[in-house]
Amino acid sequence: MQRARALIRDVPDFPKPGILFRDITPVLGDPLAFREVIDALAARYRNQGLTKIAGIESRGFVFGSALAYALGLGFVILRKPGKLPCKTYSATYALEYGHDTLHIHQDALQKGDRVVVMDDLIATGGTAKAAAELVTQAGAELAELCFVIELGFLKGREKLQGLPVHALITY
């Protein structure tokens, strides 16, 4: 993960003063770094009996779909309200100021599916917890919550109360 880690840039005071944003877009723009990330994840999940990868809007779509392709699996999208056209399950989670919701199509997963949820970053863990709830609400088994970056100092893993979590890079 040396190449990917070296490319993640710090953006101070984004999206508001006092926040240090970890920008992963340079990793996406570098084919060797992007391949390094996907290859590492594919090696981890190759023989775990997975049936689907679920990606959290929006950067989770990029990493998750590439991982699903590498593993020969289907890809499921977890989206914000009003973005999915069919019946959905939903899970609401707290933000620093207010709440947000994730949705999944009710027919996206079935009993017997074994799923890894993918996103670019875990911070406080609220979005990840909602994603895990959606997977189980849809009747599937959550194999793991997976992230490229973990902001360990925000203790998001603790909010997930023992759910399986993997991150490639921790700050």
pTM: 0.96
> pLDDT per residue over 30-87, tens digit each?
999 999 999 999 999 999 999 999 999 999 999 999 999 999 999 999 999 999 999 9
Contact predicate 22/151, CB 8 Å: yes
* Average pLDDT of the residues in 129-157: 97
In angstroms, the CA 113 to CA 35 distance is 26
Under the banding of pLDDT at 50, 70 and 90, the label for residue 147 is very high
pLDDT of residue 81: 97
Strands 141-150 and 165-170: parallel
Contact predicate 91/127, CB 8 Å: no
Which contacts qualify for 39-44: CB closer than 8 Å, 24 or more apart? 39/70, 40/1, 40/168, 41/67, 41/70, 41/118, 41/146, 41/168, 42/67, 42/70, 42/71, 44/166
In angstroms, the CA 4 to CA 104 distance is 30
Under the banding of pLDDT at 50, 70 and 90, the label for residue 124 is very high
Would the pLDDT of 97 be above 90?
A: no
In angstroms, the CA 98 to CA 21 distance is 20
Which residues belong to the active site? 59, 96
Would the pLDDT of 96 be above 80?
A: no
Share of the chain above pLDDT 90, in %: 95
CATH T-level assignment (fold) for domain 50-170: Rossmann fold (3.40.50)
Under the banding of pLDDT at 50, 70 and 90, the label for residue 95 is confident
In the chain, what are the domain boundaries?
Answer: 50-170
* Average pLDDT of the residues in 14-40: 96
Count of C-beta atoms within a 10 Å radius of residue 81:
12
* Average pLDDT of the residues in 104-113: 98
Count of C-beta atoms within a 10 Å radius of residue 170:
12
